Amino acid sequence: MAEVKLSAGDRESRRPLSPHLQIYRPTLTMMMSIAHRITGAALYAGTLLLAWFLIAASSDAACFAAAAAFFNSIAGKLILLGFTWSLFHHLLGGVRHMIWDAGRGFEHPQREWLAQATLAGGIALTAAVWILAFSAH
């Protein structure tokens, strides 16, 4: 078997060339993909807060009062708003990925339309839930 000796220069020339992130121009589809990952991680934290609320509700009145005071504060409502948006945005991003898994929506107009629908739909559904929640009072 012949032995091949590679110098450092030979190894560098055989490496595959792949573009760095600085080369890419950000697109809406790229940003929605990043947002999908971020909202997935945010849902973990939101689920912990939801579990805290449910445990407090099943505990004594003092635990429930503490949780209710937090969620009724400005910071708590902003967190709940973000959790609601994360939930809907991640859901619609998953629907977009299912459409892609079916082999549809890869062409330029459809790809952009799906990204816009994910963004607009997440905002619209969040607004609808919050409007319904506050109109019930």
Say if residues 66 and 56 touch (Cβ distance below 8 Å).
yes
Read off the DSSP letter of residue 7.
-
pLDDT of amino acid 26: 87
User: How many separate domains does the chain show?
Assistant: 1
Asked whether residue 7 is assigned to any structural domain, the reply reads no
Give the position of tokens 């807060």: 49
Asked whether residue 3 is assigned to any structural domain, the reply reads no
17-53 burial, b at 16+ Cβ within 10 Å, e below that, comes to eeeeeeeeeeeebeebbebbeebeebbeebeebeeeb
Asked whether residue 12 is assigned to any structural domain, the reply reads no
Asked whether residue 34 is assigned to any structural domain, the reply reads yes
Report field, pTM of the whole predicted structure over 0.85? no
pLDDT averaged per 10 residues, the chain (length 137): 59 65 82 95 96 96 97 96 97 96 94 96 98 89
**C-alpha angle with apex 92: 47 to 108, nearest 5 degrees?**
145
Q: Residue 37 belongs to a domain with what CATH number?
A: 1.20.1300.10
pLDDT of amino acid 10: 60
Asked whether residue 2 is assigned to any structural domain, the reply reads no
Asked whether residue 22 is assigned to any structural domain, the reply reads no
Domain that holds residue 70: 27-135
Asked whether residue 21 is assigned to any structural domain, the reply reads no
Asked whether residue 31 is assigned to any structural domain, the reply reads yes
pLDDT of amino acid 38: 96
